[in-house]
Every structure is written in structure tokens, then in C-alpha cells.
Amino acid sequence: MTLSMKDKILKRFLLSSGEPISGQNLAEELGISRTAVWKHLQSLQEEGYTFDTIKKKGYLLRSKPDRVDAASIASLLSTERFGQTIHYYQECATTQTIAHELARTGAPDGTVVIAETQTDGKGRMSRPWESTRGKGIWMTVIIKPDVLPHQAPQFTLVAAVAIVNAMKSLYSNFTPVIKWPNDILINGRKCTGILTEMIAEMDRVQALLIGIGINVNQQQGDFPEELHAIATSLGMEEDRALNRAELVGTILNYLEKYSDLYMAEGFAPIKKLWEEASGTIGKQIKATTLRDVIQGKAIGITESGVLEIQLENGEIRSVYSADIEL
């Protein structure tokens, strides 16, 4: 990972497990002067980090601002590629556009664009996406798999199982379920949306842009009125404030694991994971596609991630993209 000197210092503190670090040691380790170390610590303090000075021993990180920057995420990663390059923004229009640009100009596989807030967040079907400052995870992961364009939608399902399993590994007060293809719900309310975009030639995917929006620490009042009945946040469900960087790191760990699994063994193991986490299969649903409305029982997803709906007359319809109502 390419970290700035300040981020390298921060990472040392984040990994110091409660042990003070001396300015002298830091300076020697990083090959800079003690004055430079001190200046970086001052600049971290200006950003909201607080340090205790322990006599004769050095500095101890006391508290950190709640941010999803590279240094806060780095200490939680166990990946080789995903999250090894992170572009962090206090604010941007949408992480998708930045990711497009980066993907076109050679960003490596697993590059992440993440922001504290988006002023023009994009949902599916050109809907706006509410991205409250500092309260959620608004990120795009650039994936560069060697697959054909028609396989791209399967990565939405890869992302959905990665996110659900990351949540299950961290939280215990709720069970997230996937609503085909790309919403994650808790008790019927949406906490996460995924928007997958693709840069491709006819026969080759250049990059997939997996846009992930997760409501983490909003309270009811943070949502606009029209979302009150249909949206929720993980913090509201878990009943405590959650560490966003921890969730980002855990998602990236699962995302790399499941992308690699998909590349090694195909869609079958992902389909199994997806069906285990699905809240759609076996239910009566209404699917609104661009062309028509289909009502029936969701009976499964195919090897290629297409949803199959059985109509009352027994006919089975395949749905590639739709809005689903349960």
C-alpha cells in the first residue's frame, strides 16, 4: 500500500496495541527527523486524533476521529489486492465517476474510492442516493477480473454475499438478508444498496465498478422523511454506534476471498452462499422490469445469477434486471 509519511505514523499507532511509541524510535524506523515526527503528530491532532504523552516512554494514541481513511482501514485488512490502494475524499460528487476515471487510467485490481459524503450519490435506475456525511460507507471498489461482459452482473451477487457475511461476522443483533439482486435488508428495511457498472469491450471486461452504499450510524432523524418507513441503519438495528472502518476492512477481506473463489471455481459456490443469505427465494414477489411487471414465486437464481419467477400458470420467467417488491 502507498501510504504518506503521516499515514505510516498513524498506522504504527493504530497497531501499537496500547504501548507508547517514542518519537526517537519512530524517527529511526521511518528515516526522518524527530522534528518531522513531531510535525506529523501535530497535523494529526489538528485532524482530531488525540495523544497522551507518557514520560520517558513516548506517545500513546488516545482517541481517533471516526473516519474511513486509508490508515484506519489498512490495519484491518488481510488482503493482497483489495483495499491496498485507497483514494479517500472528505467529499465528492460520486465515488463512481472517480472510479471510472481511475479504472481507465490503470488503477490496480481492488482499488477503493471512498468518501465521507457524496453530493451527487447515484442509485440504480438513475435514482439519487442519500449519503449523509460521516454516517455511512460510500465506496466504489474497482475490480479487474478476466471475465466476459455477460458475467458482470454475477459480481453484484459476489459483493452482496461478501457484505452480508462481513456484517454477520461483526454484529449479532440482526440478520441481514439479500433482496435480489443487490439490496440488503434488515427486518424488511433497506440498509445497503449496490450499483455495479462496467467498462468493457465486446468480448472483454476492462473493469467493474462495484458501488456500495451502507447506512451505518444514521438515526431515524438523519433520513429524509420519505425514507423513514423503508430505510434503516446498522447502528439502529445493533443499538450502538459502529466502527465504519472496521466494516469496510472486513467487507474488503470477504470481497477478495469471494472474487478469488469465483475466479477459481465459477459461480456455483457463490450461488450457494447467495441462496443461504437470500430473503427472496421461495417468496411471492412482484418484479418491475423496464418492459413489464411480473408477479409470481421466486424459485431460484440460475448459474448466471438470473432470477427465475414461476407465474400462476406454471410458466417460468427469467429476470435479468428489475425492481423487486416482496
Binding residues: 118, 190
Tell me which of 51, 138, 262, 274 binds ligand BTN, using CB under 6 A.
138
Contact between 123 and ligand BTN per CB under 6 A: yes
Q: Are strands 111-118 and 86-92 parallel, antiparallel or unpaired?
A: parallel
From the list 38-46, 209-217, 225-233, 262-270, the region that binds ligand BTN by CB under 6 A is 209-217
Contact between 156 and ligand BTN per CB under 6 A: no
Cα 48 to Cα 17, 69, 194, 233, distances in angstroms: 20, 13, 31, 25
Contact between 139 and ligand BTN per CB under 6 A: yes
**Which of 77, 248, 273 is CA-nearest to residue 160?**
273
The amino acid occupying position 315 is E
Q: CA 67, CA 203: separation in Å to the nearest integer?
A: 40
Q: CA 299, CA 318: separation in Å to the nearest integer?
A: 10
Contact between 140 and ligand BTN per CB under 6 A: yes
Contact between 100 and ligand BTN per CB under 6 A: no
Helix (H) or strand (E) holding 300: strand 293-301
Do 68 and 88 touch, CB atoms closer than 8 A?
A: yes
Contact between 232 and ligand BTN per CB under 6 A: no
Cell of 175: 440478520
Contact between 215 and ligand BTN per CB under 6 A: no
Contact between 129 and ligand BTN per CB under 6 A: yes
Contact between 118 and ligand BTN per CB under 6 A: yes
Whose Cβ is closer to ligand BTN: residue 61's or residue 68's? 68
Whose Cβ is closer to ligand BTN: residue 61's or residue 212's? 212
Cell of 47: 485532524
Point out which residues bind ligand BTN (CB under 6 A): 94-96, 118, 121-124, 127, 129, 138-140, 183, 193-195, 211-213
